[in-house]
Structure 1
Amino acid sequence: MGILGRSYGWLAQSVRSVDMIDARGNLITVDKDNHPDLFWALRGSGGGNFGIVVSFTFQAYRIPHVIKGVLHWDWNI
C-alpha cells in the first residue's frame, strides 16, 4: 500500500480502461461501459487468463503536497 492509499485506494481502483487483445485476437477496449464484467475481472476480481493487456488508463489525482519521512534507529543497542 502506497503513501496515498488511504486517500485514493489501491491502484486497481484507479484503472479507468484497459486495451487488450482477447482470445480471438481482437484488440478491444475494456471499461465500465464496454465489457463491464471483463473490466471487473481484470481489476483483480476474476481468477484466470483473459487476454493480453497492452495498455492501461489510470485516474490521475491532483495532490497539493506530500510530506514523507523515514525514521532509522540502531537495533543493536
Structure 2
Amino acid sequence: MLRRHAAAVVVITAPGEPATGFTATSFTSVFLDPPLVSFCLAESASAWPAVEAADTVAVHVLGQEQERVARTFSTSGQWHP
C-alpha cells in the first residue's frame, strides 16, 4: 500500500468520540517493512492535543469520491473534542 502512495490525500485520526483528526498534506512513507510513515501537524492545530496524546493513530488514504471527507477534516476545530 505505501509503495503505491504517490500523491493521495490522507486523513490522520486519533481514537475517540467524536473522531479527531486532520487532512494531511505532508504525509510520507519512510520505510516499508515495518511500515513507518511521517506526517507534520502544528502544535497550534485543533487536532494536536488528541494526536499528541494518542498511543496510535490511523491513516486513511482517500479516493476521489471522498473529497467531502477530506474537506471536513481540513476544517479547523471541526473534530476537536
Does TM-score exceed 0.5, indicating one fold? no
Q: TM-score, normalised by structure 1?
A: 0.26
Q: Structure 2 length normalisation: TM-score?
A: 0.26
Higher relative contact order, chain-length normalized (CA < 8 Å, sep 6+): 2
